[in-house]
Amino acid sequence: MFSGSIPALVTPFRDGAVDELAFRLLVNWQIEQGSSGLVPCGTTGESATLSYDEHYRVIELCLEEAQGRVPVIAGCGSNDTATAERHMRFAQQAGAAAALVVAPYYNRPSQEGIYAHYARLADGCDLPIILYNVPGRTVTDLLPETVARLAEIPSIVGIKDASGNLARVGSHRLSCGPDFCQLSGNDDMALAFNAAGGVGCISVTANVAPRLCAELQQACLDADYARAREINDRLHPLHGALFTDASPGPVKYAMSQVLKGFPDEVRLPLTPASDASCRAVDAGLRHASLI
């Protein structure tokens, strides 16, 4: 259903407000550069700091500019099940192709609680759901046996896996079937993830290097792993540099260097990328021949 390079879009801010013009330009640039889908209001989009109105407006803007050229997977996660369902209902009405729903954070539910959360969402809204497992942020870990149970629900169609455990790709293939859509949530592991059975990446790096990320993913889909490794070698330092400070500070700085005039503003409690982080990003951009 979904594959290739799918950027988890940053949300540009200017003077504290969502910069709608910059976001529209970003969406069009991403599509022109070969991205195969778009994720507004994910973690990289600073969804935790968006008001409901802002959250829904960003989804609307993304759909308006995409105009059906690529699927839009709306970030709909929350640690409150009722709020996540509200987000999903809005996204479905607006025309999103699917919802990206992070495992409930902070509450630290059991595996049964995680299962019940997703099952309730699937029962309350038939928009396709992509699970999102990122235990480094949520503390909770969506275990393979729980993923297998959830995959039995027809509207749960895939997973963005940022667990860092590549063995889970094989586990999910065996328990969920080869048609269950597995997308990497870690750019630096995307090549190996695809070799193990994944079909794409919901990417941070694609914000700033969309064409290279799209070419890498296409090479993987074509089973041209020599070409994929060549591109990955160009991107590898940048992958690491974009996480030398709290994300998305470094990627917003990187975008301000590649797209002149693009705002690098973040919202508290995040702060702009440090000087050391900016130097690492500059080195990564140079290595990738992006500046």
Instruction: Identify the structural domains of the chain with CATH numbers, from first to last.
Output: 4-223 (3.20.20.70)
Each residue's pLDDT tens digit, 167-188: 999 999 999 999 999 999 999 9
pLDDT of residue 1: 82
Q: What is the mean pLDDT of residues 109-128?
A: 98
pLDDT of residue 15: 97
Q: What is the mean pLDDT of residues 81-92?
A: 98
* Residue percentage of the chain with pLDDT more than 70: 100
Catalytic residue among 132, 225, 252, 260: 132
Q: What is the mean pLDDT of residues 125-132?
A: 98
Q: Is 160 a catalytic residue?
A: yes
Between CA 32 and CA 21 the distance in angstroms is: 17
pLDDT of residue 65: 98
Each residue's pLDDT tens digit, 55-70: 999 999 999 999 999 9
pLDDT of residue 112: 98
Q: Which of 174, 178, 203 is nearest to 190 (CA)?
A: 203
Which residues contact residue 220 at a Cβ distance below 8 angstroms, ignoring those fewer than 6 apart? 190, 191, 194, 195, 228
Catalytic residue among 56, 160, 252, 253: 160
Q: What is the mean pLDDT of residues 78-104?
A: 98
Q: pLDDT-based confidence at 11, cuts 50/70/90?
A: very high
Tell me phi and psi for residue 170, to 5 degrees.
Answer: -65, -40
**Alpha-carbon distances of 88 from 20, 57, 291, rounded to whole Å:** 22, 14, 39
Q: Is 260 a catalytic residue?
A: no
Q: What is the mean pLDDT of residues 249-260?
A: 97
Residue 158 has pLDDT above 90, yes or no: yes
Average pLDDT in the chain: 98
Each residue's pLDDT tens digit, 37-57: 999 999 999 999 999 999 999
Alpha carbons within 13 angstroms on the beta-carbon side of residue 196 total: 19
Report cis status (omega within 30 of 0) of the bond before 269: yes
pLDDT of residue 76: 98
Tell me phi and psi for residue 17, to 5 degrees.
Answer: -110, 155
Tell me phi and psi for residue 182, to 5 degrees.
Answer: -110, 120
Q: Which of 229, 228, 267, 261 is nearest to 246 (CA)?
A: 267
Q: Which of 155, 94, 159, 80 is nearest to 125 (CA)?
A: 155
Is the Cβ–Cβ distance between 37 and 4 less than 8 Å? Answer: yes
Taking only Cα atoms into account, the Rg of the chain, rounded to an integer number of angstroms, comes to 18
Q: What is the mean pLDDT of residues 13-23?
A: 98
